[in-house]
Chains A and B, each alone.
Chain A
Amino acid sequence: MAIRVRIPTPLRSLTAGAEEVAIDSATTVGAVIEQLEAKHPGVKDRLLDDKGVRKFINVYLGDEDIRFLEGLESAVKDGDEISIVPAIAGGAR
């Protein structure tokens, strides 16, 4: 069983359209993102800056925002699901 990462629409251009990416083995959210980057170069830069997770991005481990866990050091295990929730704009025009 792998860790599943749900890819939001704005990032799917970097994952060849994949809506979900399976990461076979990782122990932290940060390691998951590194493996995601290895599979789909460019994703990491969209998620992280030199201070950590970008301000307009939220990374959820299950239902919990990793900022309220251990951030990128939050522990993950097989079967976990990570959701990337970016700010989106649109609706009026």
Chain B
Amino acid sequence: MAVSAAPFSMARVVVVGVGGLGTPAVRALAHAGVGSLVLVDDDTVDRTNLHRQILFRDADVGRHKLDAAADAVERQAGGVRPTVELVRERLHPGNALRVFAGASVVLECSDNYATKFLAADAARLSEVPIVHGAAIRWVGTALAVGPQGGPCYRCLFEDLPEGAQATCDLAGVVGPVCGIIGALQASFALELLGGGAPFGKLASLDGLHDELRFHTVKPRTSCALCGVRTIVDIDPARYLA
């Protein structure tokens, strides 16, 4: 039995990054009857994306991801199609609060730490719930955060890592891991839109061993974002790795 789309028809969902995580999430959200999708990305489709970025086809190689994604939503969504707004740039300190304004929920599907922390901060400052996702090689994580944080992404990971870190661009990622994490992000988002509160647990997938674990995440009183709240604006210097 399908869940009624009615609770989602008024929802405005922002998806930051329309790639390995964003494409399965967008597909799930569109099919679920979400009323409005705001897609944020500045990249074009590369042939190496196709194994995991399930909205795209061979013919999309070289196209802007957002054009290809919007076409796919139009083609696949069935009877009730969401309105789709395209933001053809990366999320950055100058646009984050504007992009998140009026959102029902944000899905953070980006590929770098700076954007993850920026999205976390902008969501908290905008008082918008956010669902973070990440995937690399055989592992992935997802975390839903409420509009007031407590716990938030910075409760878990306090600040950007120093120095070079592995990303899926460099280290690779297994396609189904992206599919599972992106779908899980969409599931958390729909749960939120339906009035649920799937907060305080970090979903951690080990695709190589078929394990999905949930680690408890607690609010940290010293958290700069939702604890002592020393982060009160979007300072570009804060997102330099």
B19 close to A58 (CB less than 8 A): no
Question: Interface code A63-93, partner B: CB below 8 Å = 1, 0 otherwise?
Answer: 1110110000000000000010101111111
The answer on a CB contact under 8 Å between A68 and B111 is no
Question: Which residue of B109, B113, B135, B209 is within 8 Å of A87 (Cβ)?
Answer: B113
- The contact of B215 among A8, A63, A88, by CB within 8 Å, is A63
> How far is A83 from B181 in the complex, measured between Cα atoms in Å?
20
Contacts of A8 in B (CB 8 A): 139
* CB-defined contacts of B181 to chain A, threshold 8 Å: 91
Tell me, in angstroms, the Cα distance from A10 to B94 when the chains sit together: 32
Q: Is the CB of B136 within 8 A of A90?
A: yes
Chain B residues whose C-beta falls within 8 Å of the C-beta of A56 in the assembled complex: 113, 157-161
Give complex CA distance A88, B140 in Å.
Answer: 8
Q: Are B160 and A88 in contact (CB under 8 A)?
A: no
Given contacts A55-B158, A60-B215, is CB(A88)–CB(B220) below 8 Å?
no
- Is B18 close to A, CB under 8 A? yes
Beta-carbon contact of B202 and A93 below 8 Å: no
Indicate if B141 sits at the interface (CB-CB under 8 A): yes
Query: B interface vs A, CB < 8 Å?
Result: 17-22, 41, 43, 49, 109-113, 116, 133-141, 156-161, 165-169, 171, 173, 178, 181-182, 202, 204, 208-209, 213-218, 220
Verify A9–B157 contact, CB threshold 8 A: no
- Which of A9, A54, A64, A91 lies in contact with B17, CB distance below 8 A? A91
Inter-subunit contact A91/B137 (CB<8 Å): no
Query: B113 contacts A93, CB within 8 Å?
Result: no
* Interface residue from B20, B160, B202, B208 paired with A91 (Cβ < 8 Å): B20
Query: Contact: B158 with A91, CB < 8 Å?
Result: no
- With the chains together, A60 CA to B134 CA distance in Å? 19
Please list 6 pairs of residues, one from A and one from B, whose beta carbons are closer than 8 Å in the complex, sorted by A's number.
Answer: A19-B208, A56-B159, A67-B220, A90-B167, A91-B181, A93-B167
Query: Are A93 and B169 touching (Cβ within 8 A)?
Result: yes
Closest 7 A/B residue pairs (Cβ): A90-B168, A92-B17, A92-B19, A91-B21, A55-B158, A92-B111, A90-B136
User: Does A85 lie within 8 Å of B215, measured CB to CB?
Assistant: yes
Smallest Cβ-Cβ distance to B151: which chain A residue: A65
Instruction: Using A56-B159, A58-B156 as known contacts, say yes or no to A89 and B215 having CB atoms under 8 A apart.
Output: no
Q: How far is the CB of B194 from chain A (nearest CB, A)?
A: 24
A92 to B136, CA, bound (A): 11
Rounded to whole Å, the gap between the CB of B164 and the closest CB of chain A is 11
B138 to A, closest residue via Cβ: A9
- Which residues of A lie under 8 Å from residue B110 when comparing CB positions? 89, 91-92
Q: How many whole Å from A81's CB to the nearest CB in chain B?
A: 10
Question: Are A65 and B158 CB-contacts (below 8 A) given A90-B168, A91-B17?
Answer: no
